[in-house]
Structure 1
Amino acid sequence: MAPLPTPRGGHFTASHTVWDAALDPVAVVRSGDEVEVVAQEASGGGIRPDSTAADIAVLDLRRINPVVGPFAVEGARPGDALVVDVLSIDLETWGWTALIPGFGLLADEFPEPYLRTSAVDSTPGGGGVQLLPDVVLPLSPMVGTLGVAPPEPGPHSVVPPRRWGGNMDIRDVGPGARVVLPVGVEGALFSLGDVHAAMGDGEVCGTGVETTALVRVRLTVAPGRAPASPVVITDQRSFRLETSVATTGIGPDLMEGARDAVRQAVDLLSDERGISREDAYLLLSLAADLRVSEVVDAPNWVVTCHVPRRLLPGWPHV
């Protein structure tokens, strides 16, 4: 591949919507270089601050989850690891969360399009994310999609994650986190996008607070150290330490257990806060953490959905 100059004092905006080793890199960088990108919100411009659910119904799914790149990293070869340090995430002042028909853990129970836009205040001492008039969530900026080109001939959809990274939606991939990716092709061809201002573990409704952001990362090659699949090393600041009300899903199927735990939490939030089930489902996707709590006591396993206690004050009322 022909080397390209690395712009200094600027940032990258060129995006694509598939993984493909045949894509030309937007730049060639050295191991240890930092790159800064403007990652567009996940609809690729299909959702605006004044959008309604009608815009969700006609969303062009070919444009979703655009990622900026790819960046070729000098010296990166198959068998190496690409170490990605997330240095900073500067958020836009608004974001959106939606129910997209056919998408999400309870898609069969929420078949209609639904949309909420949120004000995002990331100024020092700011208010966080205003999802509902009486619900302000703390900021937890993270990068939902980052990865390298797969060696298999493309193109490949950017939506499902794979061994090479991609749309992993791991909440802890925020400032201070390190992601170690296996390199599949020469130069790695790294891209990132899909930034969230807030998201819970599981992203249960299928969306977080989807927003545009300025993201700065450092890319470093670790020769011969490719992991079997991506590894995330978190900074202590990325952990959410809150008391919670945890609903449970118990049975022999982890996916059904996840659905049971989330369904119970939807009903609990809707009843206690007097909000629609749709808003409760969105709220869980942003603020609750879905966890596998037990997988050793055959034949049943336990999945828990942890709802921050501040969203259910006083429950149960005894």
Structure 2
Amino acid sequence: MSIHAVRQSQSHVVWDNSIEPVLHIKSGETVTFDCLDASNGQITPNSTVDVINSLVVTQLDQVNGPVFVEGAAPGDTLQIDVLSVVPASWGWTACIPRFGLLADEFPEPALKIWKLDIENGVTYFDEEKKIKIPLKPFAGEMGVARGKKGAFSTIPPYATGGNLDTKHLTAGATLYLPVEVDGALFSIGDGHAAQGEGEVCGTAIETPMTVSVRLTVRKDRPYTKTPHFSTPKFSLDNEEYYCTTGVDSHMRIATRAAVRSMIDFLCAEHGFSRVEAYMLCSVVGDLRLHEVVDMPNYVVGMMIPRSILGASTKIKSRL
């Protein structure tokens, strides 16, 4: 079976079915993509916070491709088997003004550069406080071209995929996307070394990555109208969580309240600044819907594994 490669330079910043494919493959073949980080190389390991104000937003969230898969036609499903995802030795997390769930509360730019220990699969948020985070790399962007003519931003997700930012799409996962154009025109990018569900500040641990996927045309899944995926086996390993909640009749307000409460907790109990706590929530905090049926209110939770907080936790001795 042939193995193909797509270079860093073979990328685009919009979903547009008129973009010429950089590669033609047969169904079932494997492609390895060499991807820059979501800043499209604008942020480097030596960057300072000043870079945030000079980011060219139209160049963010580029994806590599597109790849034309022979036999794919509108109405089919493209099966994407994620075979491997290898991040770089560094990454970044940022607060970008006017971007993120609590953008109005965090108007100033912030930037954290991470050193990633690929061999051991960990990184430190704060080594002195022993805030150690396991690496769970995945591609935040995986998508196929839309059937509609025109250019569509890569920043939001669509029914055809795109910026899904779903942390479960690690190596061993399978993603299914509805095909709307001949050849599907698959692209991928936005490497994340770790991310909490929801990515609340708008960035995870953003990193360059090398990712390999197998692309297969499926004619037997007419029900795939939006992204579907299956995960590899995983367990919670008896993990303990600390959870804050938001309760409101408006889901966005409840979600903001849950995150805000977690920020307050992390600042009070662990001595973080508010922006540090906000970025930590984006990297390891998981947003969950706890209650959706007892109207008029929703209960949204923000959960952080207590093991992440390590020796810095004060609350541990109280429970």
TM-score band by shorter chain is over 0.9
Q: Which residue of 2 aligns with 1:201?
A: 197
For 1:239 and 1:86, the matched residues in 2 are separated by 21
Q: Which residue of 1 aligns with 2:183?
A: 187
Which of 131, 151, 154 is matched with 2:125 structurally?
Answer: 131
Q: Which residue of 1 aligns with 2:56?
A: 60
RMSD over aligned Cα atoms = 1.7
For 1:51 and 1:238, the matched residues in 2 are separated by 37
Q: Which residue of 1 aligns with 2:248?
A: 251
User: Structure 1: which amino acid aligns with 2:148?
Assistant: E
User: Structure 1: which amino acid aligns with 2:248?
Assistant: G
Deviations 1:228-251 (A, max 9, x none): 200011111387862100100111
Instruction: Say which is worse superposed, 270-279 or 199-208, in terms of deviation.
Output: 270-279
Local SS of the residue matching 2:255: helix
Deviations 1:1-36 (A, max 9, x none): xxxxx9857543311110000000011111100000
Change (3 A) 1:10 1:149: closer
For 2:156 and 2:235, the matched residues in 1 are separated by 24
Q: Which residue of 1 aligns with 2:165?
A: 169
Q: Does 1:235 align with 2:232?
A: yes
Change (3 A) 1:182 1:211: same
Instruction: Say which is worse superposed, 196-205 or 232-241, in terms of deviation.
Output: 232-241
Local SS of the residue matching 1:261: helix
Deviations 1:151-185 (A, max 9, x none): 11111100000111000101101101100000010
Q: Does 1:300 align with 2:297?
A: yes
Instruction: Say which is worse superposed, 45-54 or 229-238, in terms of deviation.
Output: 229-238
Change (3 A) 1:170 1:10: closer
Alignment of 1:1-318 (within 5 A): 10-13=5-8, 14-123=10-119, 126=120, 128-133=122-127, 134=129, 135-226=131-222, 227-237=224-234, 242-310=239-307, 311=309, 313-315=313-315, 318=318
Q: TM-score, normalised by structure 2?
A: 0.94
5+ residue gaps, structure 1: 1-5
Change (3 A) 1:302 1:57: same
% identity of equivalent residues: 44
For 1:191 and 1:292, the matched residues in 2 are separated by 30
Residue 314 of structure 1: how far off its partner (Å)? 4.3
For 2:39 and 2:2, the matched residues in 1 are separated by 27
Residue 127 of structure 1: how far off its partner (Å)? 5.6
Q: Is the 8 A contact 1:129 1:197 kept in 2?
A: no
Residue 270 of structure 1: how far off its partner (Å)? 1.3
For 1:9 and 1:32, the matched residues in 2 are separated by 12
5+ residue gaps, structure 2: none
Q: TM-score, normalised by structure 1?
A: 0.94
Q: Which residue of 2 aligns with 1:3?
A: none
Q: Is the 8 A contact 1:87 1:216 kept in 2?
A: yes
Q: Is the 8 A contact 1:21 1:189 kept in 2?
A: yes
Residue 57 of structure 1: how far off its partner (Å)? 1.0
For 2:101 and 2:40, the matched residues in 1 are separated by 23
Change (3 A) 1:9 1:33: closer
Instruction: Say which is worse superposed, 94-103 or 223-232, in terms of deviation.
Output: 223-232
Q: Is the 8 A contact 2:35 2:191 kept in 1?
A: yes
User: Structure 2: which amino acid aligns with 1:160?
Assistant: P
For 1:302 and 1:86, the matched residues in 2 are separated by 33
Residue 132 of structure 1: how far off its partner (Å)? 2.5
